[in-house]
């Protein structure tokens, strides 16, 4: 059965750390970093990389369009 794997890239400079992507993610991939960007925001990042299914939910709700989403079907 094909397994779907995803990954997101957060534009950390654009991110304002609003946390909406973190709470929206159905597989709890994202978290806010303890580090901050140049504006002082704790940006979002993939904390649980392997859990991402590339569903784009985070990107849809992101108000600042900082999330790029990738997805592959892996045959196993």
Q: Which residues, in sequence order, are CB contacts of 30 under 8 Å at separation 6+?
A: 8, 21, 22, 44, 45, 46, 47, 58
Our CB check for other proteins shows the closer of 1 and 20 to be 20
Q: Quick one: 1 or 24, whose CB is closer to other proteins? A: 24
- Nearest CB to other proteins, comparing residues 27 and 72: 72
- The length of the chain in residues reads 76
- Please give the residue ranges that form the binding site for other proteins (CB under 8 A): 5-7, 9, 11-14, 16-20, 23-24, 33, 41, 45-46, 49-50, 54-57, 59-72
């Amino acid at each position: 059965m094909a397994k779907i794997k995803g990954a997101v890239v957060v534009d950390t400079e654009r991110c304002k750390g609003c946390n909406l992507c973190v709470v929206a993610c159905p597989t709890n991939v994202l978290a806010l970093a303890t580090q901050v960007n140049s504006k002082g925001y704790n940006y979002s990042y993939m904390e649980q990389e392997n859990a991402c299914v590339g569903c784009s939910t985070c990107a849809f709700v992101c108000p600042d369009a900082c999330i790029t989403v990738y997805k592959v079907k892996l045959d196993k």
